[in-house]
Chains A and B, each alone.
Chain A
């Protein structure tokens, strides 16, 4: 059962029933799900959680949706891997990678959309909707297909064909909107007022956002019920960043783990870094930016949870930093070449941030660090294709192969004796 009791305004504290609502009617502040933690504490234990299915739904008591309504495409319980090669390179002895590339639509968005789709069914919506340039669109289309829901997916008209296929294959109504980024934003806000659809990050946003907490729950469980000392997380709207911290705090409140004062470090791409810009100004006031970066999955110029992400940075004693597009590409390659994980640009942002902190001596070599890799690299191949060595070209003969190899390497490997 869910222990969600009401929605509360994060600004003025007013309460609302658990309905499809996202802003406070009085101050227009964002709403957040509030739980009965006393009752939850009596029921939830390491054993009860570990007895659940190997998906995000093992944490159903800590989520605002009834698992009976779940649209389960197998999201979650993704691998937490030791990263000894990357760690050695960076001088970090206890580095882990949470590999969320392996979710059903290859990004962490399956976590949030799974919860949003479950709530949409509970609220008897028959349509899921979103506006997205990639990961969110893929996930909404897939969940709608599995859940027997209609789907409207709004995409910018100039989106590359390869990114359209990852949504179109699931059969949603795809709408290519001819307009600027700001115009698409405004259109979708107006559509969410006009049509009775579950726009996942508007109509049911308080529930949707809670899905990100499962990343924290899984990491703590996979570490043997222990919180990391330091989390390195990509920031776009700031929601994922704040919810990972909330997830860790909840497990500590419930007595499932010990509180370790986990530090939260958030990384953005320099070409769209409104949260880090405010952090460096030592301000809690976000100045919206026009995105200009290859890390398109993080390109949110006016982040809904930017203020709360800044509070999390400050409360946890973490760092906020922005990395260049060149560092992002280098980060993607570094993770692939050391740990065998091909991440999308958001993963490159995280690894680049990790590298910058390590090289600057800002990480303790023995602290337990988890880098959150949130999406798979096949979605953003264009980011690295110009930077990779072209294949050797050889005719179908050993002599031709050896000639090509010697031109590249200068020396041939030892042959079998």
Chain B
């Protein structure tokens, strides 16, 4: 089993969608929310994903294809 800490940033159009619930339901991934800030027109959620590495990767790809930005928790790692 693998764990991944990620930050989802939601565009306005997806704020009301139960994206994280669907991620846990349609993929074999446990979602564990640690911190979030969601208002009516924007939002981000920091969470841990647990499951087989390939399944996490499939789930994250699905989330990205919906239009959610997925980043590592420490922010951008590549620096100038």
User: What residues of chain A have their CB less than 8 Å away from a CB belonging to chain B?
Assistant: 11, 22-23, 26-30, 109, 130-136, 154, 156, 181-182, 184-186, 188-190, 192, 199, 201-202, 205, 236-237, 285, 287-288, 296-306, 346
Contact = CB atoms under 8 A, between A and B. Distances in A.
Contacts of B58: none
Contact of B71 (A27, A29, A302): A302
A27 B48 CA distance: 10
Contacts of B7: 302
Contact of B74 (A11, A205, A288): A205
A237 B5 CA distance: 19
Interface of B: 4-5, 7, 9, 34-35, 37, 42, 44, 46, 48, 69, 71-80
A22 B74 contact: yes
A156 B79 CA distance: 11
A288 B37 contact: no
With most chain A CB atoms within 10 A of its CB, the pick from B5, B34, B78, B80 is B80
B28 to A, nearest CB: 19
B9 A287 contact: yes
12 contacts: A22-B74, A28-B35, A28-B48, A132-B78, A185-B77, A189-B72, A237-B76, A288-B71, A300-B78, A302-B76, A306-B75, A346-B80
A170 B4 CA distance: 33
B52 to A, nearest CB: 14
A188 B78 contact: yes
Contacts, number: 98
B36 to A, nearest CB: 10
Contacts of A300: 75-76, 78-80
With most chain A CB atoms within 10 A of its CB, the pick from B34, B74, B77 is B77
A162 B34 CA distance: 43
Contacts of B74: 22-23, 30, 189, 201-202, 205, 304
Given A28-B34, A302-B7, 12 more contacts: A23-B73, A23-B74, A29-B35, A131-B79, A135-B79, A136-B79, A184-B78, A185-B72, A185-B77, A287-B9, A287-B42, A304-B76
A206 B79 CA distance: 16
A20 to B, nearest CB: 13
A11 B73 CA distance: 14
B77 A131 contact: yes
A392 to B, nearest CB: 35
A292 to B, nearest CB: 14
Contact of B78 (A27, A133, A285, A305): A133
B73 A186 contact: no
